[in-house]
Structure 1
Amino acid sequence: MAAKRILMIVGDFGEDYEIMVPFQALQAVGFQVDAVCPGKKKGQKVRTAVHDFEGDQTYSEKPGHNFQLNATFDEIRPEDYDALVIPGGRAPEYLRLNDRVLEIVRHFAQNNKPIAAICHGLQILTAADVLKGRRCTAYPAVGPEVKAAGGEYVEVPADEVVVDGNLVTAPAWPAHPRWLAEFFKVLGLRIEHEEAAMA
């Protein structure tokens, strides 16, 4: 069976960990991941930002890596992909203004394909109007948008996940182990550990 193809929509000042970690982890277990950004082509880069929790009333922000895109936004066809990943950070705030981004998201939602979104990535799902009646979580500041879009916002610790059918959401990057593990399950991936041979 051919490896599942996963589309990841990123943008400038997306959260560094929330782009880098799933992009690499999904490839490590055999999926093909195409990372695209509106207005940019394969080989170009997006700038990322590191969001950290240091005791302030909101997250702090520091420069992250330059992340290289491996596909061209204008050339992708959503029907060629099995699942969608939407990282958080500041990028979703402006990506949700792009009509083509919203069309792509609606394709995945309407065809019941797996969607993994984290942190502020839920802003794109709210703008695409695909959360009505869906249980999900997000960065707490996005909770009011989820509710306004008709979704059921579930408040969970930063390292937890909410799964509603094919929709896998988490509040922030501390949830990566749980968020990715649940997304793997939705994608049909089973990871088995062999017992070490007795000496």
Structure 2
Amino acid sequence: MSKRILMIVGDFGEDYEIMVPYQALTMVGHEVDTVCPEKEAGETVKTAIHDFRGDQTYVESRGHDFELNATLDDVDPSEYDALVVPGGRAPEYLRTHEEVLDAVRHFFDEEKPVASLCHGPQILAAAGVLDGYEMTAYPAVRAEVEAAGCSWVDEVTVDRNLVTGQAWPDHPEWLAAFLDLLGTDVSETEPAAADD
């Protein structure tokens, strides 16, 4: 059954953590509305690509322009079944917008599915919704989310309504766990036979 999902993004959010979940969730039939504070539907956010090359932290390069398809001021979180909060650099300033925090609180108050990874949990911590959860995030965010009251796990984690991962390399397991939480049945099918 198709779900309506809200995804909160911003400039220099992680490219793969925005693009891949958006495409995967729409591919299996879900409707995903992408929003950003102070931007309208039809405008774009600039993404960043974070790569792990053995340095002490990730390397960042410019990604794509990702088009928003909804306007945050016009959406009502109660009309959505689930929430996706990607990472990258965007969460550090998105968490300063009260309308973002209010939207996040709605999904936790109503115990609706939430998927977040990388730096996305910075927004969840700022919203004050992590107390008592077991979760993960990008390792550099560990102290922040633990200070918000959660216990740390070093792998993709599902605790009640929350699915968390450390970064985009976790996509296969993280997205599978989120689809499971959504009740999405993705069955293997045989490709159609080609006509001779």
Normalising by the smaller structure, the TM-score range is: over 0.9
Distance 1:192 1:62 in 2: 36
Deviation at 1:192, TM superposition (A): 1.8
Q: Quote the Cα distance in structure 2 between the aligned partners of 1:169 and 1:132.
A: 15
User: What 5-or-longer segments of structure 2 have no aligned partner?
Assistant: none
Partner of 2:68: 69
Name the counterpart of 2:29. Answer: 30
Aligned counterparts of 2:17 and 2:66: Cα–Cα separation in 1: 11
Does the CA-based 8 Å contact 2:28-2:186 persist in structure 1? no
1:187 aligned residue? 182
Residue 88 of structure 2 contacts residue 118 of structure 2 at CA under 8 Å; is this kept in 1? Answer: yes
1:1-199 aligned within 5 A = 3-156=2-155, 161-194=156-189
Instruction: Output the amino acid matched with 1:177.
Output: P
Q: How many angstroms does 1:196 deviate by? A: 8.0
Cα displacement (A) at 1:57:
0.3
Query: What letter corresponds to residue 47 of structure 2 in structure 1?
Result: T
Shift of 1:193: 1.9
Separation in 1, partners of 2:186, 2:30: 14
CA deviation digits over 1:37-76, x for unaligned, max 9?
A: 0000000000000000011100000000000000011100
Q: CA deviation at 1:195?
A: 6.3
For normalisation by structure 1, the TM-score amounts to 0.94
Q: Give the whole-Å Cα distance in 2 for the aligned partners of 1:16 and 1:179.
A: 16
Could you give the per-residue CA deviations for residues 121-156 of structure 1, whole angstroms, max 9, x where no partner exists?
000000001000000000000000111000111123
Secondary structure at 1:116 match in 2: strand
Identity percentage of aligned residues: 62
Deviation at residue 95 of structure 1 after TM alignment: 0.3
- Please give the secondary structure, in 2, of the residue aligned with 1:23: helix
Aligned-pair Cα RMSD in Å:
1.3
Deviates more, 1:185-194 or 1:36-45: 185-194
Change (3 A) 1:71 1:195: closer
